[in-house]
Each structure stands twice: as C-alpha cells, then as structure tokens.
Structure 1
C-alpha cells in the first residue's frame, strides 16, 4: 500500500511535503490508509494527483509534465519519477486520461475508438483446477504458505546477508578513507595533495607485493632528512693516499741492522749507552771552544779529542746522519696522515652522509694503526741512534694497506654518488616519499588486520551471493508459475464477454438497456472491435452523462481481465460522476460499493477485500454524502480509512486532512459557515487569504440558506434582503449597511468595477464576520454551538 506522497513539482502541486502538511490536531502525521476519500472543488488538483498514480500504472510521465518530481512512499519501497518501471505495485486508475486512452470514441466520436479487452469466459473445470493448484502452490505471505511466503523469507535473508556484507565492507572502506584523508593526506612530509581511498587501495596493492620491504626506523629518519635536503654543490675534493712506509721500511731496516765498530773503542762508553749519548751530545759543545768541562769545570785531557774521534768514527757519523734522514721521512709521513682526509659529512647528502661517516671512521682506525707502525719504526731508529754500535730489531707492522686503500676508494665512490645525486635529487625525494608512505600504509593495514577483514568480507559476500541466488531462483519460479497462470487464463479469455460485462453493469446498476457496448468482428473477421450501439444501431451524439456511465462501467469490467483479476490492486477512481443526475450518482456509488468496496465474508466469518488499497476523489457533495456510507475497512485488522481535502491556494494545490464538517456532516451549509468563521480574525489572512476573497459570496449564500428556514414565507416584499433586515433589525444601521454592502460590493463588481482592482479590506471583512456571528449566537446559541461543533471548533460560552 501507499502511505505518503511528496511532490516537488507536478502540475498545480509545488513543494508538497507530506510530513509537514498532513498532521492532525495532536501534531501526528496521518498517512494514506486502505480506503481513502478525497474531496476538492473543480480545478483544485484532484485529477493532477490521480495522474501521479496513473504514471505508476503506465510507467510514463504524462505529456506536458516535463521536469516533474515526486516520490510515492509505500510498503514495497519508494517510487520516484525516474523509477516508474518495475516498482512492484499493481495500480489501476480511472480518470480522464484513462478515458482518453481507452475510450477515445467518447471524446472524439468521428475518429475515436474503444479498445477491446477480454475477461475470463465460461468456466473450464480442467483449467480451473490447474489454476487453483498453481494458486495453492504460489500461496501468499498472509497465509504463511507457498512460494510467495518462501520468497518473502528468502528476501529477508537476502537483505540481511546483503546488509551484513555492506556493513562490513563499508566499515573497512571508512577506515581506509579516514586514514587516506585524515592521516596520509594531512602529512605533508609524504602525503600528496590529492590522495583518496582509491590511492590507498593502490598503495595496499604495492605493499602486498613480495618485493616490498618496509623501512626501518633509522631508514625512515634518513628518508625524512633527505626530504629536507636542499641541492648541494659538487664535492671537488677526493681522497688520495700514497703510503710511503714501504720505501721508508727498506731504508730503516738497513739502518737498524747495519754493523759498525769504533777505531779505538772506549769500553766505558760501549758499556753505558746513556753515557755514550751524553758524550756525543757534548762534543759539539766543547770542541774547539773550551779546555775545561762545562759540567765539572775540570781541565780536559789534551788528547781527549783524538780519543773521542777514534771512538766516534766516520762510519758511525754516517749512520747517525742516515738515521736522522730516515727519522725526518717518518715524521713527514706521520704528519701527512692527518691530511689524507679533510672532508666532513656536511658536504654530503643525507643518504651518503651515513656511509661517509662509517668509511671515514674505518679509514681513521686504519690510519691510526698505520701511524702507530710509523711511531714504532721511529722509536726503533731512535734507539739505534742512541746505540750506534748495537743493531736494533725491526718492529712488526700491524697496519693493512689494502684496507686503507679500500676505505679511500669507498669515500671517493661516495663523493661521486653524492655529486650525481644533485641531478636526481627530486627523483630521489619522490622515491623517499613513496617509501615513507608505503611503510605507513603497511603499518596501518597491519593495525586494522586488513587481510583478516578481507577474508571475513569475502565470506559475507559469498553468503550474500548465495542468498541472492536463492531469492532470484525462487522469484524466477514464481514468475514461471504466474506465466502459466496467464497462459491458462488466456485459454479462457473472451473479448465478447468483456463487452457483455459492460452491458450487464449498465443495465443492472443504471437501467440502460438501450445503450450497449457490442463486440463486432472486423471486415476480415480476424479481430474484434468494440462499438457503442443504441437500439441495435451505431450510437453517436452521446450525452456527457452517457459517456461517463459507459466509461466507468468499462473500467469496472476491465478489472476482471486476466492482467488484473486475482491481483492485489491499488485502485484510484477520480471523479466518476461527471454530468450525472442525482439518481445516477447514487447508482454510481452503489456500483463502487457492490463490486469494489464491500468486503467478502470468509467461511470463518472474517472479511477480505477485493482491493489492496482504494482511492476515490470527487468534487460533488452529493456523491461525497453517499461515500460516507461506503464500507470502511476495520482500522485494527484491515488498514482503516482516511479522508482528505484537496485545495488550491493561489496557484498551488495542497492536500490536508478533511475537516469534520465535510467528513461528518457533508453539507455546503456547514462549509459556508466555516469560511465565514475563518474571517473572524484579521490574522487568518496571513495563513490563507482565500476565505477573505470569497467572503462576499460565501456570506450571501449562507445567509440566504440560514434565513430561508427562519423566514420561509416568500413574496415580493420578503426577498433575501428583507429577511436580513428582519433578522438583524430594521432599525440597526449596521444591518442596513450590511445589506447594502452585500448587494452592491461584497458579492458584485459590475456597479463598482474599480473595487476589483483594489486590495481586499481585511479589517472591514473581519468586522462584518464578527457582527454576523455574534448576531446568530445571540439569537440562537444552541444552533450556533452546533454549527461550531460541525466544523470542529469548541463551543462558545459568552
């Protein structure tokens, strides 16, 4: 069933929001129910509303309604103007468009036609049994049996599993989206300006590859530093190491092992190395300068220099000189080691800086050993110098020349690599950002157990697919059975029975046995066509009333065609009593009551209905009065009933709940009284100005009816205005003014046409309305309060 309709734009309807407009006195939204009666004056928008429902039946928007927007809410889902096909509601609408499409002959009797339709013909026991068996197999949801009930259960399971899969999938998607937008995108270190859920899914694919290895904490720090790095100038220095220890070693080895002897040795000096060194140092301080010892002040022996020269021979002097020369070379080499590497890490890019510092330390360690070896060789030479006549053992070297050269080569390679990085810096930064981002993504999917979630979602998807397959197969089986029903019903179809059913309705309900709808063979006798006849002859110049009767009986009979019979129909009947007299209006009501609205008594005493939902709209108060007596579905068990009013305020139509004076009393008299009552307060014009514009005519018609029954005698001196004088008081100047204004201004414009071009005088209308209401209350308070009650207003006490 349908519950509500929201209309953005459709004909005279604009911005109709059901939940705002359709509320009762308790501010509770009221929906469509099983039976719905709608009243509205001509041109209020009733037929326009019916066209929305007919669009659901035909699957297309009517012509000249381009750009329309609406949503019909119901228990099988919402239907919008863009989803008219396949919505699942079986709708049948009787309105002007139905007549134009199916009975164009009634509109254009020259070129029009009446479309044929067939209904189920005489019963065939075998076919009936087959149809009954299929219907039992199909079953229904209400009886909780059959394929349709099973389909409903499968639909719930499909929806449940689909919901579970969607919830899990959406949850994972939300986590990915949140991390992409709130974490990575916001991290300007490695987050690109354009990064979304598709981007993170792509990155997840990258980190899932076997070749991917996440960065360590140290590597991440290096990458971050690289991103901060600006382009550096090329390093022009290189490390060039030429170790001279091999050549020095050869000289030193010979000096340390050279054997020399004094010409005439002084044994005492040979025995005391320190003394010999002390003497040797003193010779240049005394020779050719002193005759006395600078230390002890004793006279030197006259032959001291010959003795000493014999001890310190030329050979020893040469050795000493050679040792000094070698020591100088060693000192120079030691000093040179500190200049082998003058570079610092600041000249390198971040990634090479770490390797440089490592190689630099390795080189320094190797050179330290090298320097120690030089120092050891120097110490050995110093010892030989102090013991010229005693050989000294060659020290053992511990340095690794190959390692020193390897460190130098590594540093030179880093220099070349760093210099080359300048041209590729931006590319390296891009790669660093990607590595950092992918490491972040790898950590994230580990935190949310991404792989496990994928497995779980895949399982839920399998459950959903299986449930959907079960539902689809069950639905296909139902469609197969329904197709078989259609096929069997087709064997019973009889188009002549369709015409006969229309004639039966015309005759039974309206007594028209002169006008008939006949099914005649065409000239080739290959098809049947419908033709309206009167007394056996083709009928033309049909009255509007006759057209209305034929059209509605056609619609009722058409409900029995195979495509409609047996289905849960939503029936919408729009103003079926056009141009009918009072008797025919009653018979029209009787037809609707007997064949559609009246419930069927089941064997257990409960009621069932021929329709799923019924809408009836009318502009006729007499027909509305009869509809008050229509069979109403029980509110608790069968969906209840509701009454609405369609009104046009200005240029826009609106739907609201029917006032009690129309729903309960059904007279124009009550309506006119309500319109006057609405004008008692000036503020009412802000909510609805229509009663104020119609005030004159409404007041004149109300007083004519009200005072006629009070003063029923009529002669030339007792017309409507004379009755007004009698009721309000002939001497009351206000009453005389009221008579004049009613006669000359409020309800007529011909004598004062300029008033039609002026705004309505709201304060004056309110004053007149209150004067009339007060007078009625003062004359007969009981009748006045009864009128108030009829329009849903509280009684007046003073």
Structure 2
C-alpha cells in the first residue's frame, strides 16, 4: 500500500513534507490507510495529486511536468520521478487524463476522437476456468494467509528485516567513520588539510590495512609533532671524530708491567715486603745527605746505609719507575680527553634526527664509559707496578668495543648529513609526518571500534539480506509467471464486445440510461473492433457533460474487469467522478462505487475480503462527500482502516492535511461556510492562508441565506431580497444597513464595481464584518453559536 508522499515540486504542490504536514491533533504523523477519502474545492490540487498516481500506472510523467520531483512511500519501496517505470505497485486511476487517453471522443466529439476497445472475459470454458481457478488457489492471498502471495509477503517481511538489519549496521559504522573524520581528523590541523570526509578516512583505513604498515610509537609521534613545529635550521658544520689512543698506550703499558728487573745486591727483607720497600724508597730523599739519624726512630744511621740501598735500588728500577710515570701520565691525558670527544648537541638537529642523535649519543656515552673504565684499570695496574718495581703485574683485560665507538660516530655523522639535507625537503617531510600521525590515529581508532569485526558482521548481514532479496525476487517471479499464465488463459476467453456490453449494463442498471450505449462495431475489413457511442441506434454526438461523465466512469469500472486487472491487488484512485451530474446521478455514482468496489465480499471462513488493495476517492462536491460517509469502511485491525484528508491551496501552493471534524463527521456545506467565516475573524490569519478572505463575500452571503431561512422561514416582502438580514441585524442599526450594502454591492459581486476586482482585498474590513456577524449570532442564540463552534472543532465561547 501507499503510505504517504513527499512532493518537492509537482504542479501546484511544492515543498510537501508528508510526516511534518500530515499529523493528528496529538501531533502524530498519519499515513494513507486502505480506504482514503480526499476533499478539496475546485482548483485546490486534487487532479494534480491524482496525476502522481496516474504516473505510477503509466510509468511516465504527464506532459508539461518536466522538472518535477517527488517520492511515493509504501510497503513495496519508495518510488521517485526517476523510478516510476520500475516499481511494484499495481495502480488504476480514473481522472481527466484517463478520459483523454482512453475516451478522446468524449473530449473531442468529432471523427478525430476515439474510444479505445478493451476486452473482458467472455463465454466461459470449463477447462480454462478450472485451470484459472487452480492457479488462483496456488496463488492464494495475503489476507487469507494462503498460497504463494502469502509466502511472498512473508519473504518480503524477511527481506525488509534483513535489509533493515544490514542498513542499521552499515549506517552505524558509517556514522562512526563520518564522526571521526569530521570531529577528530578534520578539526585537527596536525593531521593535514581541512578537506577531509568519510571517503578520505576509508582511503586511510585501506592504507593502514596494507601489509608492512607499522603505527608510530609514542616517542615517534612526539618527534613527528615536533617536526611539524620545526623551522629551517642552519647546516651543522661540525663532524664527529674520535681517535682512541688506548691501544698505543696499552702496548707501552704491557711492556712496563711485564718488564723483569733485579737489584744489584738485593735486600731480602725489602723484597719480601713491598710496602716496606716503598716506605724505604720514599724515605731515601728525605735522609740522604741531610741527616745522620733516622727521622722515625732517632737512631744513628749505619755508615754504609746509602751504599746498601743504592745496591738494592738500581738504575734499572729508576728507569722503570720513570717510564711508569710517563705511561700513567699518558693514561691520565687520555682519560681527560674523553669529555671532549663529543661536544655536538641535539638542538642543532631537526626533530627526527634529534631523537636518533640522542640515542646514538647515549650509546656512545656507554661505550666511552667502558673505555674510561679500561683506562682506569690500566692506570691502576701501572700504579701497582710502580709501587712494586721488582714484581711484574698482569695486563688488565679490555672490555671496550672500538667498532661500536666507530659505529656510533659514523651514525652521528650520517645524521648530520641527513639533518643538513632535510632543509630542502622539510615541507615534504612535514607532509609525510602528518600522514604518519594521521594513519597512526586511524589505526588506533579502528582498533577501538573493532572495525574488522564490524566489517565481517556487516558482510554477513549483507549476504543474509541478499539471500532474502533473492528469495523474494524468485517468489515474485513465480507469481508473475502464474499471473501471466492466468492472463494468457483469460485471453482465450476475451471478447471486446463483452467490454461494451458491461459498460451498457452499468449505465442501464445504475443510471437508467438505455438510450445511450457503447457499441462494439467491426471495421470495414472485419479484422478489428471499434467502440462507438450511440443514441437510439445512431451515432451520438453533442453529448452533455453529464452523459460524458457517466459513460467515462462506467467505462473505467468495466475496464477493471479486464484480464490484467481482474483478481489483482489493485490500488484504485478515483478523482472527482461526479462532474456535471445532478443529485440523483451523484447518489447512483456513489452506489456504483459502493457496490462494485468498496463493499466487502465474504471469504469462505466468514471474514471480509476486499476487491481492492487500496482505494482513494477525491471530490469537490459536498453532497458526494456526504454519501461517502456511508461507504463500507474496512476495519482498522487486519484490514488497514480508513482516513479522511483535505486538500487546500494557499496562494500558489497546494497542501494535504487531515480532514477537519466538521467535514469528516458532519459533512454539510453549512458547517463549512461557518468555518470559513470564523477563519476571517482575525486579520492576522491572512498571513497563513488568505483564501477565506478572498471568498468571504460569497461564503457570507450563502451562509446567511441558509441561516436566516431557518430563522425566518416566512418572507413578508417578496421584493426585498434582504428582508431577513434587516430583521436579524436590526433595520435601524446603521452598521446593519452598511453591511447590507456591502454584501449587495461589493463582497459578493464584481460586475457593478469591476474596479474592485483589481484592488487588494481589504483584510481589516473583512475581519470587522466577520466579527460583527459572529457577535450577532452569539447574542441572539449562544447555544446555537457554541454548537456551530463545536462542529468545526473550536472551543465554546464564554462571555
């Protein structure tokens, strides 16, 4: 079924948003129901609306409606002006265009006009009828929950459910991507340009998913951010160069530590006690040639003490000691050189090279720490040998790695070269840095939202939706095939003459017209049949508008019995079928619609079935609207219910809304006219809708004629057309007299003062007159006045 429609532009409709416009008193959106009654005055937009449904039937837009834009919503999907030829709705429309397309003779009653033939089922063939019945059983129906049509409906529900699940999951992920793209990436200039959207983030996700991508570490991110802040730096002119002398020193030290020397005449006591020997050696220069007594014990020194000591401490030991001192000095000098090996600082580098430089600098410092420790160990060994000249000392092991030192130095020099070259590529490097930061952010984001798992789930839902759609399409294909088979079988029974006979039967049965007929006549070659309107057996011309309306509508009803329409779930739209008909014919038109379309049929289980899937009836005639109040209404539960709408035109734009209660419940022109006058009581109302003000004169005159007739049914002065008005408003009241004159001369006529028709409507004057009339009615009979207010849905007036 059709549930609603949005019309951006189509004829007199513009900017119609169904859900926002069509709402009940509780502000709840309302849809089309199974049966829909639409009322609108002439030129309000009824036929324009029917043309949208006619476009659904024909698969093409009407002429002169280029540039139209609309969307029809329903249970078989949305249809726009671009897809009207591919939808699944089965629509039949009776309107002015239907008459022009099929009964052009009624529009142009000359030999140029024609009435298209159609065929309905003729004499029944038992075999064919049984075959059609068997297919009908197999097809079943949605309402009875039987057959393929019920299965198709279940598959449609499953298709819609799975499609909805997939769309929900897909939209949810898309929403997360769009939000992150707009709120996080796009707003952060660190990540790149301001032009960033959902397509951009999808490309970045694809880049992150490629093999080999590694997100930045925290330190690397900090370095990239610093790089973006970096301005061009001057070139670094220094280079790292470290020459280690330990190997040269070690060769000298190894010889000194291992040199073998012996005293000329050794003093055994000193040789066995190196501490004592060092003490003695240190004391020699304090005593020799200076004193004869020991400064420690105050005893006289032996006369030959110096010869004995000189024999012990030979020239060879003196030379060794001197060499050891020289080597120790070399070691101290090398240790003191270490802090000056690397004077280069990181602030001369760009951000990324600075991080690497500091890492290499740290590694070099560790290597030099080991180097210094080795030098200090060598120095300690030399001091040990110096303190024990006559005992050799083992060469200490070396732990430093000269290759590692050279590697660090080479790396630092490479970083200097790289940093210097970065000046020319700084902007390019910033672009790469932004991309790396952005992709790292994306990698973290898709992990947080479990992107991969969501994609797998969405793919599974899409597969399920695809399978459900395929199942639905296959089921629909089978139904279409069977329906085509029914059409083929019915085609074997078709008879154009039966179509004409059915039209005549309707004309005679419902309207009593047996003089005018539609006859099926053979052409000259007797190869085809043509339809011709006759009166008393002769070709009929100069048909009245009423006769044309009766023939056209009976033709439409009979055409619903064509094989391609009979037994199908049709959406039927009937637009104002009572044009130029008198009261009796209007009633019979209602009876025709009720009997052959609207009245339910009883199913085998006793439940109601309907000849239509959905029914729309529009009219401008309040008498016809009154009859439609008695039409068979499908129950809300299980049968789709009914709804009443009103189509109104404010200026150049038509709008649809729910029918007010005074039309839906009371359906009299009297209530309608009162409401139109009531709308004019406030001149500000003209801002929202000015039509009641333009029609005020005629509406007021007609209302007062009816109101005052029942107030004063006897007319004393037949020559005074305004006798009742004078009685009601008071003949002596100057305001009443002025009102009479304006009613007579201005409000409801233009011929006496034609220039008024070329002037703007006097809104304040109309509001003043409207309030005067309403106040007078309330003053004379407040109960009746409040009853009138209630009939149009307004609260009672309290004085």
Report the TM-score range of the alignment, normalised by the length of the smaller protein.
Answer: 0.7 to 0.9
- Structure 2: which 5+ runs fail to align? 347-352
Displacement of 1:343 in angstroms is: 0.6
- Evaluate the alpha carbon distance shift between residue 438 and residue 658 of structure 1 in structure 2; reply closer, same or farther with a 3 A threshold: closer
Aligned pair 1:118/2:116, yes or no? no
2:318 paired residue among 315, 320, 325: 320
Work out whether residues 728 and 775 of structure 1, in 8 Å CA contact, stay in contact via their aligned partners in 2.
yes
Question: Partner of 1:494 in structure 2?
Answer: 495
Return the alpha-carbon distance in structure 1 between the equivalents of residues 768 and 210 of structure 2.
Answer: 87
1:353 is matched with 358
Per-residue deviation, 1:446: 5.7
The partner residue of 1:380 within 385, 391, 406 is 385
Asked whether the equivalents of residues 240 and 408 of structure 1 are also in contact (C-alpha less than 8 Å), the reply is no
State the secondary structure of the residue aligned to 2:44: coil
Report if aligned partners of 1:140, 1:149 keep a CA contact under 8 Å in 2.
yes
- Mind listing any 5+ residue stretches in structure 1 that lack a counterpart? 385-391
Q: Summarize deviations over 1:49-79 as a string: whole Å, max 9, x none.
A: 2112222222333222333344444444444
Deviations 1:583-617 (A, max 9, x none): 44343333223322233344555433222222222
Structure 2 distance, partners of 1:428, 1:372, is 47
Matching residue within 411, 414, 417 for 1:414: 411
Taking a change above 3 Å as real, the CA distance of residues 294 and 228 of structure 1, as seen in their structure-2 partners, is farther
CA deviations on 1:488-522 (whole Å, 9 max, x unpaired) are 23333333322332233334334444444344455
- Superposed, 1:621-640 pairs within 5 Å as 621-634=622-635, 638-640=639-641
Q: Which one is further off, 573-582 or 449-458? A: 449-458
CA 1:58/1:349 → structure 2, altered by over 3 Å: closer, same or farther? same
Counterpart among 246, 249, 264 of residue 245 in structure 1: 249
Deviates more, 1:773-782 or 1:647-656: 773-782
TM-aligned CA deviation for residue 335 of structure 1: 1.4
Q: Is the Cα contact below 8 Å between 1:589 and 1:626 reproduced in 2?
A: yes
Alignment-derived partner of residue 588 in structure 2? 587
1:212-227 maps to which residues of 2 (within 5 A)? none
Partner SS state of residue 697, structure 2: helix
CA contact (8 A) 1:103 1:113 kept: yes
The residue that corresponds to 1:388 in the other structure is none
Please say if residues 695 and 746 of structure 1, whose CA atoms lie closer than 8 Å, have aligned partners that are also in contact.
yes
Match of 2:90 in 1: 90
* Count of residue pairs the alignment pairs up: 779
Please say which of residues 485-494 and 661-670 is displaced more in the overlay: 661-670
Using the TM superposition, give the Cα deviation of residue 251 of structure 1 relative to its aligned residue in structure 2, in angstroms. 5.9
Cα displacement (A) at 1:419: 2.0
Alpha carbons of 1:415 and 1:78: their partners in 2 closer, same or farther (altered >3 Å)? closer
8 Å contact from structure 1 (residues 238, 415) kept in 2: no
Is 177-186 or 732-741 further displaced after alignment? Answer: 177-186
Residue 695 of structure 1 aligns with which residue? 696
> Superposed, which structure 2 residues align to 1:6-25 within 5 Å?
6-18=6-18, 22=22
In structure 1, the residue matched to 2:395 is: 397
Change (3 A) 1:217 1:483: same
- Does the 8 A contact of 2:92 with 2:571 survive in 1? yes
The 8 Å contact of residues 384 and 393 in structure 2, kept in 1 or not, is answered as no
Deviates most, 219-228 or 550-559? 219-228
Counterpart of 1:364 in structure 2 is: 369
Structure (1 or 2) with the larger CA radius of gyration: 1
How much does 1:97 deviate?
1.0
Cα distance in 1, alignment partners of residues 706 and 517 from structure 2: 42
Equivalent positions of 1:264-303 (< 5 A) are: 277=281, 281=285, 286=289
Whether 1:236 and 2:239 are equivalent positions in the alignment is yes
SS in 1 for 2:573: strand
- Superposed, which structure 2 residues align to 1:390-789 within 5 Å? 392-400=390-398, 403-422=400-419, 423=421, 456-522=457-523, 526-534=527-535, 536=537, 538-602=539-603, 605-634=606-635, 638-658=639-659, 662-663=663-664, 668-680=669-681, 685=686, 688-704=689-705, 710=712, 712=714, 718-725=719-726, 728=729, 730-753=731-754, 755-756=756-757, 759-762=760-763, 764-769=765-770, 772=773
- Check 1:505–1:206 CA distance in 2 against 1; reply closer, same or farther (3 A cut): closer
* Structure 1 residue aligned with 2:138: 137
Per the TM alignment, residue 554 of structure 1 is displaced from its structure 2 partner at its CA by: 1.7
Using a 3 Å threshold, how does the CA distance of structure 1 residues 732 and 110 change in structure 2: closer, same or farther? same
| Aligned twin of 2:161 | 160
In 2, Cα distance between the equivalents of 1:156 and 1:321?
110
Change (3 A) 1:228 1:336: farther
Is the 8 Å Cα contact of residues 248 and 326 (structure 1) preserved in structure 2? no
- 1:179-198 Cα offsets, whole Å, 9 max, x none, are 66666777777788777666
1:93-108, aligned counterparts within 5 Å?
Answer: 93-108=93-108
- Cα distance in 2 between the residues matched to 1:707 and 1:311: 161
CA distance in 1, matches of 2:774, 2:194: 74
Name the counterpart of 1:64.
Answer: 64
User: Following TM superposition, by how much is the alpha carbon of 1:571 offset from its aligned partner in structure 2, in angstroms?
Assistant: 1.4
Structure-1 separation of matches of 2:278 and 2:502: 151
TM-score (norm 2): 0.81
Q: Distance in 2 between matches of 1:643 and 1:324?
A: 124
C-alpha distance in 2, partners of 1:713/1:300?
175
Give 1:563 deviation, angstroms. 1.9
Aligned-residue CA RMSD (Å): 4.7
What's 2:349 paired with?
none
Q: CA deviation at 1:559?
A: 0.8
- TM score, norm. by length of structure 1: 0.81
- Map Cα deviations across residues 67-100 of structure 1 (whole Å, 9 max, x no partner): 3344444444444444434443222111111111
Distance 1:223 1:687 in 2: 61
| Distance verdict in 2 for CA 1:240–1:521, change over 3 Å | farther
Seen in structure 2, the aligned counterparts of structure 1 residues 258 and 176 have a Cα distance that, compared at 3 Å, is same
Would the alpha carbon gap of residues 259 and 46 (structure 1) be closer, same or farther in structure 2, given more than 3 Å must change? closer
CA distance in structure 2 between the aligned counterparts of 1:299 and 1:657, rounded to whole angstroms: 140
- Local SS of the residue matching 1:338: helix
Following the alignment from structure 1 to structure 2, what is the Cα–Cα distance between the partners of residues 429 and 725? 92
Q: Could you tell me how far 1:244 is from its partner in structure 2?
A: 1.9
Residue 257 in structure 1 maps to residue 260 in structure 2: yes
Q: Do the aligned partners of 1:226 and 1:351 also contact (CA within 8 Å) in 2?
A: no
Aligned-partner Cα distance in 2 for 1:763–1:228: 70
Would the alpha carbon gap of residues 610 and 359 (structure 1) be closer, same or farther in structure 2, given more than 3 Å must change? same
Work out the CA distance in 2 between the residues paired with 1:704 and 1:276: 153
The answer to which of 7-16 and 189-198 deviates more is 189-198
| Partner deviation per Cα, 1:633-686 (whole Å, 9 max, x = no partner) | 445564444444433333333344445555566554554444445445556555
SS in 2 for 1:130: helix
Q: Are the counterparts in 2 of residues 180 and 200 from structure 1 also a CA contact under 8 Å?
A: yes
Corresponding position of 1:387: none
